[in-house]
Amino acid sequence: EPEVTQTPSHQVTQMGQEVILRCVPISNHLYFYWYRQILGQKVEFLVSFYNNEISEKSEIFDDQFSVERPDGSNFTLKIRSTKLEDSAMYFCASSGGTGYTSYNEQFFGPGTRLTVL
Amino acid sequence: SQQGEEDPQALSIQEGENATMNCSYKTSINNLQWYRQNSGRGLVHLILIRSNEREKHSGRLRVTLDTSKKSSSLLITASRAADTASYFCATDARNTGFQKLVFGTGTRLLVSP
């Protein structure tokens, strides 16, 4: 069964450094998302992306964050200058396929655990 | 906000018993989805129920939705130790292709052998 994949599984970085988190959504999906989950807290929406542009972003998604779909398969989240409070699990998700997937079901990747020191 | 809140926060049962988790939300929704998360791992999609549906089944899972009470329940029948995980409801108010899921606080389920 197709699935969303994410790399790396764990990223450790120094405060102020740039990080890029990578995702490969399910191939026939049209909508892509990033969420994050700070340890012990709820999963929070960051951004949605469709047709090569941001559809919606949360207040968390400030100028330090950007997303890109550089080719037909990858979807990336960049944090330009990481802060301690960016430490969290970051989940990529996709939805909006055809065939076996229902239009609205959103499928998540395994996550990247980001640790900012 | 459109927050989902699950209860109980934690549930401990024996294998073979049924587990029921509830979710409440505040605003009108288009659909509600349930996810499972094993400790420190990713979110596994379990089931989606649309606002015009009242009940849905998938294997040992049964989900109900009561839009008048703004609540949903997830029933896992004949639980197994492998069902031990956190369970989250997530709601979406949009009737468009792209979504903005709002997650609840989750129920931690422990199934003992």
pLDDT above 80 (res B98): no
Contact A44, A60 (CB under 8 A): yes
- Looking at the complex, report in whole angstroms how far the Cα of residue A109 sits from the nearest Cα belonging to chain B: 6
Cα–Cα distance for residue pair A40/B86, rounded to 1 Å: 11
pLDDT above 60 (res A75): yes
**Tens of pLDDT along B53-78?**
999 999 999 999 999 999 999 999 99
pLDDT value at residue B95: 66
- CA-to-CA dists, residue A95 to A101, A104, A107, B98, angstroms: 8, 6, 6, 8
Residues of chain A with pLDDT > 90: what percent? 74
Q: Amino acid identity of B16?
A: G
How confident is the model over A30-54, as a mean pLDDT?
A: 92
Collect all residues of chain A within an 8 Å Cβ-Cβ radius of residue B40. Answer: 89, 113
Collect all residues of chain A within an 8 Å Cβ-Cβ radius of residue B90. Answer: 43, 106
pLDDT value at residue A109: 95
**Tens of pLDDT along B18-44?**
999 999 999 888 889 999 998 878 899
pLDDT above 90 (res A70): no
- Smallest Cβ–Cβ distance between A108 and the set B43, B99, B102 belongs to B43
pLDDT value at residue A101: 45
pLDDT value at residue B46: 95
> Quick one: pLDDT band at residue A65, thresholds 50, 70, 90?
very high
pLDDT value at residue B1: 44
Phi-psi region of B38 (alpha: psi -120 to 50; beta: other; left: phi over 0): beta
Cα–Cα distance for residue pair B37/B15, rounded to 1 Å: 19
How confident is the model over A60-78, as a mean pLDDT?
A: 93
Most confident of A63-67, A97-101, B96-100, B101-105: A63-67
**Tens of pLDDT along A104-113?**
789 999 999 9
Q: Assign 3-class secondary structure to B46-102.
A: EEEEECCCCEEEECCEEEEEECCCCEEEEEECCCCHHHCEEEEEEEECCCCCCCCCE
pLDDT above 50 (res A100): no
- Looking at the complex, report in whole angstroms how far the Cα of residue A67 sits from the nearest Cα belonging to chain B: 16
